[in-house]
Amino acid sequence: LSSLASQKSRPQVVVCFCEGMTGFKRFQWIGSDSWADRNDVVEGLEDEAEGSFSIRIHAPKVPGFRDYYSNLNPENNTVNPWFREFWQQKFGCQFAVSKEDKNNENIRICTGNEDLDKEYKEDPKLSQVINSISVVAFGLKAMYQDRCRDNSTLCTEMLSRNGTLLYQYLLNVTYEDQFKQSIYFDSNGDPPAWYDILNYVGVRSPDEPYAEVGSFRSKNMYGVEELNMTDTRNIVFFDRSSILPESVCSKPCGVGQRQRETIACCWICEKCMDHQIVNYTTNLCQNCSIGYWPDSTRSSCHALPHETISWSSFGSVLALILATVGMITTALTTVVFLKHNSTPVVKSTTRELSYIILSGIMTCYAVTFSILAKPSSVSCFLTRIIPPIAFSIVYSALLTKTNRIARILAGSKKRILTKKPRFLSTFSQVVITWILVGIQCVIVAVGVLQEWPSAGFSSHYLPYRLVLVCSTSSGSFLTPFMWNLLLISLCTLYAVKTRNLPENFNEAKFIGFTMYCTLVVWIAFIVLHMGTVNKALTMSFSFSLSASIPLILLFFPKLYIILLHPEKNVRASYTTTKLIR
């Protein structure tokens, strides 16, 4: 039992021919017919025994026996020489009392009218007692008929008390009892097996703690046997549940598990890793090669399909729609500006820088198509160089514009203007813008030469999936954007300096709003790009959003005046200092 208890929850059913306090709560106990329905076996151990099973030799109730027994008394049962002795012991009285004991008050005298039905409890094996007596009677009869054929009285052989001889006659007894049971004996002297299966329910039914839940019997002398469970729904097991316990050393291992033997014929199942198959010959886990994955049976590896970003997915469709709408809007804005190129509202924006900004915005939207394209040497190269250069075009022009406004503001505050600020002409502004863009191009070129863009499989999904992406490290990709972040920061600084300009003084206030929003978006983009898995969609949405901010905040107010309020598109509304003229 100690060895069984040390096993890890496998053996749970114990057939025990034992005695003493050997019960453990964790086992399902099955007792032999010596346990049967005896209450003394479980006395004091009712909780431990609850849910156990035992077997009892089948003994049907004898019909009419109680009435027969209750009507017996010393007067009508003179055939039984021991009946009067039984009567005295049963009722604690005596029939014959000596003269000396007549005056003894502790001695009761039997009247013969005592009630046998009082405290009546019938032995459950009564029918077996009757059959046992019947077998002896049939055996003696057969022996008498065989050995004393010519005698009307007992012959010498019957009086020899030869038990061995009588035993042979008993083995040959065959008859059907009053309960329709076939009585016979096999070569070992055993009668046909017929057992009641009992389930000890304990305190659940104090009056009948043993519930009969089935039977097992031999149908005939040819070995045909039958098990019949009659009350399976009300069975209680060792854990006080109705769930059938299992008792096996080891169960067959599931899919993707290998067998590791512990003791003879026993094993434990160990789960192989997801990318491993089971080698059933050696009972070992075996890795699939990179690019392969176990099949459903975990017995062989198959090649994984190459996955790319699907243009039909919800995120891709949304990113493409946003980019397309942005490109169309930018193109229409450019057309409107070109058509009204000589009007005060367009001229006040420094037209050349505005067109440079619009071209950068258009490129920022267009790069979405290369980001979401199937990764290749070309698409990865374009994704690597276009975004930082496109944004540097936008923010270089904005920085040049805000710097010009700040210098003009500083010059206008002087009471005596001794020297006109330098590099305020349109040509100078454009040259400065492209110089700043050129610096970005150098940074991008150096980064590309250090780590050439190429397509590869994302390590995040390996070995489960083969997802084709542009295999560029986050550091190499984000480094050029640090220059753009510097341009954004300087623009924001100049926007703060020029925040109190008059409303008609160019667009300093709108540039300020643009920079504040852009700074927030870019900080969020850097964080997301470092932490997210789907970097392509993150870049697409971030770039489109970054391009939309200057388009909406800088150009939509101008379109509003040009298209809806042309009466405001006059020179008086955009008068500036002489330095700007």
Please answer whether residues 296 and 302 qualify as being in contact, where contact means their C-beta atoms are separated by less than 8 angstroms. no
Selection from 448, 469, 420 nearest residue 577 by Cα: 420
Q: What is the pLDDT of residue 402?
A: 83
Confirm if 253 and 236 have CB atoms less than 8 A apart. Answer: no
The CA–CA distances, whole Å, from 560 to 332, 336, 345, 409, 434 equal 13, 11, 11, 27, 29
Q: Is the peptide bond before 566 cis (omega within 30 degrees of 0)?
A: no
- At 556 the pLDDT is 92
Angle at 202 between CA 200 and CA 203, to 5 degrees: 160
**Residue ranges of the domains in the chain?**
2-60+190-234, 124-180, 257-304, 314-574
Contact present, 385 and 393 (Cβ < 8 Å): no
Please tell me what DSSP assigns to residue 56.
E
The reported pLDDT for the residue numbered 419 is 60
Q: Contact, 197 vs 229, CB < 8 A?
A: yes
Residue 427 is predicted with a pLDDT of: 87
Query: The domain 314-574 is classified under which CATH number: 3.40.50.300, 3.30.70.120, 3.30.460.10, 1.20.1070.10?
Result: 1.20.1070.10
Q: Which amino acid, one-letter code, is at 409?
A: L
pLDDT digits (tens, 9 = 90+) for 45-66: 888 888 889 988 888 888 888 9
Token pair belonging to 431? 């040259």
Q: Do 141 and 125 contact (CB within 8 A), yes or no?
A: no
Over the stretch 293-304, which tens digit does the pLDDT of each residue have? 899 889 899 888
Q: Bridge-partner residues for 210, per DSSP? A: 200
Q: Which residues of the chain have pLDDT under 70?
A: 1-26, 98-105, 151-152, 154, 221-223, 409-421, 423, 460-463, 499-508, 531, 533, 571-581
Class at the top of the CATH hierarchy for domain 2-60+190-234 = alpha beta
Query: How high is the pLDDT of residue 251?
Result: 83
Which ranges in 247-350 belong to alpha helices (H)?
Answer: 314-339, 344-347
Sign of torsion, CA 280 285 289 291? positive
pLDDT of residue 263: 74
Note whether 2-60+190-234 and 314-574 share their fold: no
What string of DSSP letters covers 549-561?
HHIIIIIHHHHII
Percent helix / strand / coil, the chain, rounded to 5: 45, 10, 40
